[in-house]
């Protein structure tokens, strides 16, 4: 199974901005966005019938980057956040737990497909990032 690549993708899209005080990991809209994208990637990694919408995904990640800049975070702060291995693992764990809570079972690809289909049908953020 491929590792979630979300932080790497986000790091590739980060530019510079001005400073901010609250640690970026504590900004819910950014971390929730990364978790949603991670869930989409995990579904696609485990369901052959579903794939990530790459262009939409890059646009979504660029939107998170832009929002972080609007909130006053510098390129260095954003880079430190996406490069933080502990934070990456934490977000991946949350994404996997949320998928499990929705019925995804590790090693059972059909359950990931069912979760992905439900996310697409409900037009959630996760569902909008896969097809």
Question: pLDDT tens for residues 47-95?
Answer: 999 999 999 999 999 999 999 999 999 999 998 998 999 999 999 999 9
Number of residues written out for the chain: 131
pLDDT in tens, 6-60: 544 444 444 333 344 789 999 999 999 999 999 999 999 999 999 999 999 999 9
Q: Are 60 and 10 in contact (CB under 8 A)?
A: no
Instruction: Kindly list the distances between the CA atom of residue 106 and the CA atoms of 1, 40, 110, in Å, as whole numbers in the listed order.
Output: 10, 15, 10
């Amino acid at each position: 199974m491929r590792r979630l690549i979300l932080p790497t993708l986000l790091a590739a899209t980060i530019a510079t901005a001005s400073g901010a005080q609250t640690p970026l990991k504590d900004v819910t809209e950014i971390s929730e966005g990364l978790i949603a994208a991670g869930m989409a990637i995990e579904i696609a990694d485990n369901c052959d019938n579903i794939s990530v919408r790459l262009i939409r995904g890059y646009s979504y990640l660029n939107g998170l980057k832009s929002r972080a800049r609007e909130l006053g975070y510098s390129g260095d702060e954003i880079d430190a956040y996406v490069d933080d291995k502990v934070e990456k693992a934490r977000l991946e764990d949350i994404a996997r737990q949320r998928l499990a809570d929705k019925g995804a079972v590790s090693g059972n690809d059909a359950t990931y497909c069912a979760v992905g289909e439900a996310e697409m049908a409900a037009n959630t953020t996760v569902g909008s990032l896969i097809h």
